[in-house]
Amino acid sequence: MSLHEIAGGVCRALTVKKDGPSLYDVCDPVLQAYRGGDPHLGKFYRTALGNPPLRALLRRTGLPALKDPDRLAGLRAALTEARDAEAPDWAAIGAPVAELMDGIGVRHPAPPAANAPVRPPGIAEIDRAIRKTGAHLLGSFGKNGFIPTYAAFNLIGDADIGGREMLMALTGLNARGYKNSTLLFSLARIFIAHSPARALINPPWRGIAEPMWEPVQIRHRSAYYDAFFTEALLGFVETGLASPDEAGAARRAIADMVDFCLKTSAEEVPSHDGSNVRVITALAPGRHPRFSRFFAQIKQDLGFGIYVPDCDTTACSFSAATQAGSDDPILQQPLLDFYRGYQVRAGANEPVVTVPLNDNIDYEGGVVTWIDNLAGERPYGNDLDPTLNLDILEVSFRNLNRWQIIETPQRLETVHRIIAFQKRLVESGAFKNPRSHIYYLPELYSAYFGRCYAAFIALPLAAQRVIDPGNVFALIRARVLGYVQGDLITHEMNPFDAALALMALAHLGAEVSTFTPALHCIVQGLGEGGRKGPYKAYEWNKMKTPTRILVGGPEVTSAFVLMALALARKRMVAAS
């Protein structure tokens, strides 16, 4: 948005005619100051929603529906119960908020069709982008001692979260602080949706992945991110475009990040067979996530004090370490034995998915996200994401011999059931629906399937036949390519979209000629990041609750562009 547009939006928000009670008329009498009850609810309200800038923007936005005194009283009574009850009835508390969420009109982006460029960029232009993104990652590591990623709140919320899904979250999440934040963010987004401030908080953008334009971004470090930065730097070295100094710096950074994943971020958790297993948590303890003191306190105040391990960070960390040639003893653990305990069996342990926001898909055979820590804590309840399950397959293929998967019937069955889960998802077409994904976008699912497929076809043919006797991977490959070639790259993209499309096309063996739209978008976008990097920050992954929290950063975009261009360049050179 231009400064003129921002100024106009602010002016309209500050001067709009008020029509009904505002967010603050509803909440101040209940949450601004009180004694007893749950102190976190009021602290969250004052920190996240009652802060002066947001209060100024929303104070004149009223809801006509709340002119009804009975409806207003019912909403305040619900907030009072959330504040005071020792064991709140969250379904009843959320009901009046859910009723108000109808018609807030948050939709997924629908990019217009784009004209296809005739010729691809030259290899010299591709090499320039590879060198720029590689240097950006190494420069960031040298400056910070790690490669940062950022989180940012989008207060308008996620298009897939309506009143029904909000109630799922309130009743399925475990931590009271997380329920509090979900309740209040859901209430706030109703007022934002009806405010002129909506255009400031959620401006339109180009492509699918959302740019992280928000002024407040929380910088941090995670093993999940380090795993992908490791893969990107491995790709940089493999291109041969890194100078000797850069190659040496890349290897040192890779060694440090692998150590951060496997040692600093490791913790012991109980397995379902009674043993303990070492897994990887997304946020390491103490100073290691590298939050500033200010944001560390805000994180605590907003109800994110406890962070448990997850299956995806564990899989991606093990995969990156395997690719980097690590021989750490932690890699000897056959993760499939552990994941089997978190795998859904229809009619048996299906309630393990307590937050079924994507209940449009069949969970049978899928592995859920969150891992109970030694204290048995599960603050986020549990959910199930299809892309996570691709990462489990990918790390299993890379460790096929080490974990003796083919030789162990139970492990092979676990793999077969995950593949069957993916087959149903793709055959139904649900993989293209953003609602089917908890933490990712369909375009990222496509790129990650490409990554998984590359690991699969690198196996001996005999092993491929045992793992996939029904040729499911060929079926999924055809459907994913159809989506990427027929939909994604035929519409307007931003550089992050284009990088994901290119990763899928290159990994899945598409014709080199199909790379052209994505390559053009990436090369033409070089420099858009200004002083922060070669490219802007875009949405990599997200949390749909308590509101839409985006994770990404300029370094993340550089990493995915680097990986995509390295793959495409290799194919293009081989074809020339």
Could you say which DSSP state residue 150 is in?
Answer: E
Could you say which DSSP state residue 46 is in?
Answer: I
Residue range 499-503: average pLDDT?
A: 98
Q: Write out 270-326 in H/E/C secondary structure.
A: ECCCCCEEEEECCCCCCCCCCCCHHHHHHHHHCCCCCCCCEHHHHHHHHHHHHHCCC
**pLDDT value of position 1:** 56
Helix/strand/coil for 220: strand
**pLDDT value of position 213:** 75
Average pLDDT of the residues of the chain: 92
Taking only the tens place, the pLDDT of each residue in 209-262 is: 999 976 667 889 999 999 999 999 999 999 999 999 999 999 999 999 999 999
Name beta bridge partners: 113.
491
Residues of the chain with pLDDT > 90: what percent? 79
**pLDDT value of position 16:** 76
Tell me how crowded residue 396 is: count the other CB atoms within 10 A of its CB. 27
pLDDT category at 303 given cuts 50, 70, 90 is low
Helix/strand/coil for 272: coil
Residues of the chain with pLDDT > 70: what percent? 93
Query: What does the angle CA 270 – CA 273 – CA 274 come to, to the nearest 5 degrees?
Result: 50
Whether residue 351 is predicted with pLDDT greater than 90 in this model: the reply is no
Query: What does the angle CA 81 – CA 83 – CA 87 come to, to the nearest 5 degrees?
Result: 65
Name beta bridge partners: 543.
549
Q: What gap in Å lies between CA 266 and CA 363, rounded to an integer?
A: 28
- Give the domains, in start order, of the chain with CATH numbers: 3-110+159-200 (no CATH), 123-153+202-569 (1.50.10.20)
Whether residue 365 is predicted with pLDDT greater than 70 in this model: the reply is yes
Residue 455: CA count within 13 A, CB half-sphere: 21
